[in-house]
Amino acid sequence: MKKYLITGISGFVAYHFLEYLNGLGEEAEVLGLDLKIPQHISDYSFKNVKLSFIELNLLEYRALGIAVVSFNPNYIVHLASFSSVGKSWEMPLESFLNNTNIFLNIAEIVRHNKIACRILSVGSSEEYGNVKENHIPLKENMPLHPRNPYAVARVSQEMLSKCYVDAYGLNIILTRSFNHVGAMQRTDFAIPSFTKQISDGIKQGQKEIKLSTGDLSVIRDFIDVRDVAAAYFALLKNGKTGELYNVCSGKGHSLKEIIDLLAEIFKVKVITETDSKKVRPIDNKIIIGCFEKIKKHTGWQPKFDLENSLKAVVESYAL
């Protein structure tokens, strides 16, 4: 039975990764770490996954070390992060600490205790920064131009990962993961925020739904969280140590297109109003990735289209 240590176990990517593991039909043991364990533990009942939780601050090296060493995992799936670009402008210190120091703690614990495990170091498409359209789709060998505190922290984590691979021989796989979409995502992200606003408006009997938004012209590569979970598993099994992989859909959509699709799914009329507080000081205009490398190395490719992903989000708000 393989053992997986998952940081950020309360996050929505972790839940979908557990669902993916369970669906494989093979028994797995998982230790989930987070500052706070999930509120609804009953939702985390999986037939093929033996799951336990430890509530701890991942910045506390000693407590984290005890947990990692005693569990002795085959794989570490490092999902814990300060993942909001918008909030990284408001809380740059917290963003940087959580996205670099926690990873550094993990790497040092594995190195000092000679734990024979593979680590998945999750990065972000935000690392690419603002690029020209003739550079689209983005490939892993593109130069990086991070333009917000979150992206700078992710680049730092990536560079640390490569240091530990080259200097100490740690078995680390790296990703640049593009914008996720799916059920259970927090409403401080664009799509669940739009969905909740529309759902709340319908429940209140509004004929026309008014949405408070940021810049709707930006184009992003949205990938279903279920595809992300499958990609992370494929990389743990077949990715090459020290290599970096885009995890993306290969397609770009503006936030205006997203709202139009949500309006069609909900069958309502939506009017948008720009809230200056939701417009970022600097934003990347277009981000679309290329997934050829991960496909070549692991056979993975995305299965869910955007409409399918949005319907999953809408259904989660209809409950």
CATH code where residue 244 lies: 3.40.50.720
Q: Which domain holds residue 170?
A: 2-182+222-250+287-303
| 191: in domain | no
| 257: in domain | no
Question: In the block, which residue shows the tokens 């939702």?
Answer: 43
| 203: in domain | no
Residue 111, phi-psi category: left (phi > 0), alpha (psi -120 to 50), beta (remainder):
alpha
The residue with greater pLDDT, 317 or 67, is 67
The residue with greater pLDDT, 272 or 288, is 288
| 112: in domain | yes
Nearest-CA neighbor of 217 among 254, 188, 248?
A: 254
Answer yes or no: is pLDDT of 318 > 70: no
pLDDT at residue 282, rounded to an integer: 65
Answer yes or no: is pLDDT of 100 > 90: yes
Q: What is the pLDDT of residues 6-52, one digit of tens each?
A: 999 999 999 999 999 999 999 999 999 999 988 777 788 899 999 99
Number of structural domains, the chain? 1
Q: What is the pLDDT of residues 213-253, one digit of tens each?
A: 878 888 999 999 999 999 999 999 999 999 999 999 999 99
Q: What percent of the chain has pLDDT over 70?
A: 97
What's the mean pLDDT when you consider all of the chain? 93
The residue with greater pLDDT, 242 or 208, is 242
Tokens of 208: 């026309």
| 66: in domain | yes
| 53: in domain | yes
pLDDT at residue 276, rounded to an integer: 67
Angle, helix 225-238 to helix 12-23, in steps of 10 degrees: 60
Answer yes or no: is pLDDT of 283 > 80: no
pLDDT at residue 265, rounded to an integer: 93
Helices (H), the chain: 12-23, 61-71, 85-90, 92-96, 102-112, 149-168, 190-203, 225-238, 255-266, 292-298, 306-318
Q: What is the pLDDT of residues 126-177, one digit of tens each?
A: 999 988 889 999 999 999 999 999 999 999 999 999 999 999 999 999 999 9
| 263: in domain | no
Q: What percent of the chain has pLDDT over 90?
A: 75
pTM to 2 decimals? 0.94
| 22: in domain | yes
Answer yes or no: is pLDDT of 86 > 90: no
